[in-house]
Amino acid sequence: MSRCKACDTIMNEYELKRIDHNTGHHLDLCNVCARYSLDAMQDAWNDSSTEIKLDELVLDRSIN
């Protein structure tokens, strides 16, 4: 039994298997929280005042 990292609800089988395609890691969010997260990311991408610099992102690939 795993819980959503954002709201602490028990996740179903589909939610447990969801993979973040950007990182390759399990998302660990329920459907509701994953939707809010995706909406927030899309808003940031669409906001012309928000600048996302990929060269400044640091990904920790040591966690498997």
Average pLDDT for runs of 10 along the chain of length 64: 92 92 88 89 69 57 51
* pLDDT for residue 17: 92
Q: Which residues contact 6 (CB under 8 A, 6 or more apart)?
A: 29, 30, 33, 36, 37
35-44, long-range: CB < 8 A, 24+ apart: 36/6, 37/6
CA distances from 47 to 42, 44, 53 (A): 9, 5, 14
* pLDDT for residue 64: 47
Please say whether the beta carbons of 4 and 28 come within 8 A: yes
